[in-house]
């Protein structure tokens, strides 16, 4: 039963004494969950339109008394906001594209012919990379990438490489299971119909995992976009990403809450926009009806 | 002309799972050969090797004289219909059927025309713009067939394509596939576990068991003169009665019951094993005989009336014995009846294992 069906069923529930009680219960529960999730969002947007002094005022105001958008240009142009957002886009875009370019074919290989690519053990080793805490490899990686090593600290390259360490395993494993869900016979049919293995992959297998591919892309993008630990250690000023700059706005005697909020709002936009754009594809179950029985 | 030859073909999965064991078979041009056998008999694997979807472990496969062991499936110019139909769910019916043409670079008007033509042949013109998920099983089946015939392949491989259809549709499609094959005059290999399908469809039947071919022959021959005990039991419904026993002084004596059957000398003398199996098809059993004509007697256990005939069950403890009689034959559970086995229809298998060979008489009297 899809979420939509459940909602419809809920809306059409006949009003019996028991049903009414159930409705009140469910509505109350959903309201609490929504309040907890949406309140921070509301508070961020609210704060971003306040003046610096109002944003620090106690008790706080629930709507800006003096509405201003000044926080946005301030953080963008006086506190490097624009630069870090551009860096974030660059790093996330690079990491996402590379993770997909590497991870999608690898996931396909592990789904279709694991024996030829090292089998279950290698597949699990790839996943295990995703499991250790990022702080563990930071020190050795730092020495490898610093000027004593290959000297790529504070570049797009280093950030993208680092982000691949956790995004490639994620992509491989997610895509592996999406590919496994496609009946093998559909691809075999393509081979027999006269296309090469590679054409069968991109003309048949890939379109069939489109919803999965979209979901994976979104996750990889979000993980790269929000990453903080690696960014903090491996960037200076050249390619600082936005999560790193936010703590720097927490000053000694005054915290620029309105600017922090403004930058946060801007940082949320790409994620929300991409989710909305891809939503239609995300929920479309293309493989339905691929195979009878 | 397309001739498919399998020469001592063996397929081993992993280190020691022998799926197909030394199979040799020649499928003539324009012939419809049915590979039939229980699940796990290697029939699908054999088909997949012909298609190129499985590597051949040992032996040679030739298509029109050319060794194809290392030829990729896409270069064999063979069409295949899968049990699951394996339609492309993201493409419309039109684009499913046109896929093999796209793959071969056939474009534009010619492609559209051929798709329309095939759709007309199969009666699915109205469905061309639907998605596979919007079709019924029978319609999906037709689309799968359409995708196979649209490009004039050298041969058709059918991997249990009727197994997913309901009984009525299955019989309909069975006839349609045969007519289509005759129309196109194309070489076809059809895999099924259904012996009735094999009997009705094949020019010849190759019965398989445990990776080996048991017999290759026209349907009536596998029925009348099964090569061994396995074929005898597998082909025909209800199954041939099998009684294990010994041959003594020209007589067959059952192990498990007081049954003695006088055998024609040609049969009795030809056995070499200590213990043999006597077989007779239920429809050849004659009930109600008495005295010298009756080979043995029995108490009727159950009678199943199928309308056009009746199946009479006898229970001998270690084995069951079936007779098929006409609808007017008066017989009821509990009756004591004499059972006669006409010598012409008695089969004798030299041994008790499934691969025990049928003893051939000098001149086959059933023919």
Q: What is the pLDDT along chain A (293 residues), one digit of tens a residue?
A: 566 666 677 666 666 677 788 888 999 999 999 999 999 999 999 999 998 888 888 888 888 888 999 989 988 998 888 999 999 999 999 999 999 999 999 999 999 988 888 888 888 888 888 888 888 888 899 999 988 889 898 999 999 999 999 999 999 999 998 999 899 999 999 999 999 999 999 899 999 988 889 889 988 999 999 999 999 999 988 899 999 998 888 877 778 899 999 999 999 998 888 888 877 766 654 343 344 33
For residue A292, give the chain B residue with the closest CA: B84
pLDDT at B367: 40
Which residues on B lie below 8 Å from A207 (Cβ)?
Answer: 90
CA atoms within 13 A on the CB side of A246: 19
pLDDT at B21: 94
Q: Is A292–B73 a contact, with Cβ atoms under 8 angstroms apart? A: no
C-alpha span between B69 and B10 (Å, rounded): 12
pLDDT at B108: 87
C-alpha span between B123 and A148 (Å, rounded): 74
pLDDT at A289: 36
Which residues on A lie below 8 Å from B149 (Cβ)?
Answer: none
> Nearest Cα to B202, choosing from B81, B367, B51, B31?
B31
pLDDT at A56: 85
B 63-92 near A (Cβ less than 8 A): 72-74, 76-80, 82-90
Q: Is B84–A208 a contact, with Cβ atoms under 8 angstroms apart? A: no
Q: Which residues on neighbouring strands pair with residue A255, listed in sequence order?
A: A250
C-alpha span between B41 and B355 (Å, rounded): 14
Rounded (to 5) percent helix, strand, coil in chain A: 75, 0, 25
Q: Please report, in angstroms and rounded to a whole number, the separation of the first and last CA atoms in chain A.
A: 19
Whole-structure pTM value: 0.81
A87 CB-near residues (< 8 Å, 6+ apart): A156, A235, A239, A240, A241, A242
Q: Is B88–A293 a contact, with Cβ atoms under 8 angstroms apart? A: no
pLDDT at A283: 60
The torsion angle over the Cα atoms of residues B168, B169, B172 and B178, rounded to 10 degrees, is -130
pLDDT at A129: 85
Distance from CA of B110 to the nearest CA of A (A): 18
Interface of A with B (CB under 8 A): 183, 185-186, 188-196, 199, 204, 207-208, 210, 286-293
Q: Is A289–B86 a contact, with Cβ atoms under 8 angstroms apart? A: no
Which residues on A lie below 8 Å from B90 (Cβ)?
Answer: 207-208, 210, 286
Distance from CA of A206 to the nearest CA of B (A): 10
Are B87 and A290 in contact, with CB atoms under 8 Å apart?
Answer: yes
Say what the ipTM of the complex is. 0.84
pLDDT at A250: 85
Q: Please report, in angstroms and rounded to a whole number, the separation of the first and last CA atoms in chain B.
A: 32
C-alpha span between B367 and B355 (Å, rounded): 23
C-alpha span between B76 and B58 (Å, rounded): 19
The pLDDT mean for chain B works out to 90
Which residues on A lie below 8 Å from B83 (Cβ)?
Answer: 185
Give the tens place of pLDDT for each residue, B142-192: 999 999 999 889 999 999 988 888 888 888 889 989 998 998 899 999 999
Nearest by CB to residue A194, choosing from B87, B103, B131, is B103
Could you tell me how far CA B236 lies from the centroid of its own chain? 10
- Grade residue B365 by pLDDT with cuts at 50, 70 and 90: very low
Q: What angle do CA A66, A71, A72 make, to 5 degrees?
A: 130
Q: Does B205 touch chain A (CB under 8 A)?
A: no
Residue reference for tokens 């936009």: A269
pLDDT at B137: 87
> Nearest Cα to B299, choosing from B338, B260, B258, B340?
B338
Mutate: best of A115, A286, A292, A293, partner B, most B CBs <10 A: A292
Q: Is the dihedral of CA A165, A168, A172, A178 positive or negative?
A: positive
C-alpha span between B34 and B198 (Å, rounded): 6
A25 CB-near residues (< 8 Å, 6+ apart): none
Which residues on A lie below 8 Å from B89 (Cβ)?
Answer: 186, 208, 286-290
Nearest by CB to residue A186, choosing from B86, B104, B140, is B86
Give the tens place of pLDDT for each residue, B223-249: 999 999 999 999 998 999 999 999 888
pLDDT at A171: 94
Q: Which residues on neighbouring strands pair with residue B279, listed in sequence order?
A: B242, B347
Q: Does B53 touch chain A (CB under 8 A)?
A: yes
A246 CB-near residues (< 8 Å, 6+ apart): A260, A263, A264
C-alpha span between B200 and B203 (Å, rounded): 9
Rounded (to 5) percent helix, strand, coil in chain B: 30, 30, 40
Give the tens place of pLDDT for each residue, B123-138: 899 999 999 999 998 8
Which residues on B lie below 8 Å from A186 (Cβ)?
Answer: 86-89
Q: Is A194–B164 a contact, with Cβ atoms under 8 angstroms apart? A: no
C-alpha span between B206 and B218 (Å, rounded): 9
CA separation (Å) from A267 to A51, A96, B138? 20, 17, 53
C-alpha span between B75 and B95 (Å, rounded): 21
Mutate: best of B44, B47, B78, B103, partner A, most A CBs <10 A: B103
């Amino acid at each position: 039963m899809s979420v939509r069906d459940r909602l419809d069923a809920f809306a059409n529930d006949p009003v019996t004494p028991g049903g009414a009680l159930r409705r009140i219960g469910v509505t109350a529960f959903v309201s609490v969950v929504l309040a907890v999730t949406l309140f921070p969002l509301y508070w961020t947007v609210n704060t971003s339109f306040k003046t610096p002094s109002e944003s620090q005022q106690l008790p706080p105001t629930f709507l800006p008394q003096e509405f201003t958008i000044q926080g946005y240009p301030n953080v963008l142009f006086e506190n490097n906001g624009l630069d870090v957002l551009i860096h974030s886009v660059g790093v996330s875009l690079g990491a996402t594209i590379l993770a997909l370019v590497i991870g999608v074919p690898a996931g396909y290989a592990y789904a279709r012919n694991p024996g030829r690519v090292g089998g279950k053990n290698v597949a699990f080793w790839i996943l295990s990379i995703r499991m250790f805490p990022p702080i563990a490899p930071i020190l050795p990686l730092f020495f490898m990438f610093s000027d004593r090593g290959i000297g790529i600290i504070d570049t797009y390259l280093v950030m993208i490489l680092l982000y691949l360490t956790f995004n490639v395993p994620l992509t491989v494993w997610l895509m592996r299971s999406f590919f496994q869900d496609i009946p093998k016979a559909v691809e075999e049919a393509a081979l027999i119909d006269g296309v090469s293995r590679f054409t069968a992959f991109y003309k048949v297998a890939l379109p069939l995992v489109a919803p999965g591919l979209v979901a994976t892309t979104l996750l990889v993008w979000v993980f790269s976009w929000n990453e903080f630990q690696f960014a903090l250690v491996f960037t200076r000023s050249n390619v600082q990403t936005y999560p790193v700059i936010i703590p720097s706005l927490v000053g000694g005697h005054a915290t620029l809450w309105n600017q922090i909020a403004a930058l946060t709002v801007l940082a949320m936009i790409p994620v929300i926009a991409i989710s909305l754009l891809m939503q239609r594809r995300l929920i479309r179950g293309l493989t339905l009806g691929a195979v009878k029985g | 002309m397309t001739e498919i030859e399998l020469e001592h073909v063996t397929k081993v999965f992993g280190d020691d799972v022998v799926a197909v064991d030394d199979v040799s078979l020649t499928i003539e041009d324009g012939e419809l050969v049915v590979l039939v056998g229980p699940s796990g008999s290697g029939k699908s694997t054999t088909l997949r090797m012909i298609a190129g979807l499985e590597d051949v472990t040992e032996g040679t496969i030739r298509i029109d004289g050319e060794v194809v062991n290392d030829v990729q499936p896409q270069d064999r110019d063979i069409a295949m219909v899968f049990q699951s139909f394996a339609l492309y769910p993201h493409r419309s019916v039109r684009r499913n059927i046109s896929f093999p043409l796209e793959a071969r670079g056939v474009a534009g008007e010619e492609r559209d025309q051929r798709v329309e033509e095939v759709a007309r042949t199969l009666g699915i013109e109205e469905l061309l713009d639907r998605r596979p998920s919007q079709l019924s099983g029978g319609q999906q089946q037709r689309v799968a067939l359409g995708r196979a015939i649209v490009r004039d392949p050298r041969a058709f491989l059918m991997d249990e394509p009727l197994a997913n259809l309901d009984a009525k549709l299955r019989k309909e499609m069975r006839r349609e596939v045969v007519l289509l094959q005759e129309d196109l005059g194309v070489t076809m290999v059809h895999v099924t576990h259904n012996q009735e399908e094999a009997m009705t469809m094949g020019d010849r039947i190759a019965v398989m068991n445990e990776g080996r071919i048991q017999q290759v022959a026209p349907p009536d021959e596998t029925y009348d003169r099964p090569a061994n005990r396995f074929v005898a039991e597998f082909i025909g419904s209800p199954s041939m009665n099998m009684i294990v026993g010994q041959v003594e002084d020209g007589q067959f004596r059952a192990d498990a019951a007081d049954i003695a059957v006088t055998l024609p000398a040609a049969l009795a003398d030809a056995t070499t094993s200590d213990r043999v199996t006597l077989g007779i098809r239920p429809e050849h059993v004659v009930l109600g005989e008495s005295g010298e004509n009756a080979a043995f007697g029995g108490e009727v256990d159950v009678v199943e009336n199928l309308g056009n005939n009746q199946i009479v069950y006898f229970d001998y403890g270690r084995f069951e014995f079936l007779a098929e009689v006409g609808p007017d034959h008066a017989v009821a559970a509990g009756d004591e009846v004499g059972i006669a086995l006409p010598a012409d229809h008695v089969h004798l298998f030299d041994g008790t294992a499934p691969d025990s060979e049928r003893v051939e008489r000098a001149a086959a009297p059933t023919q």
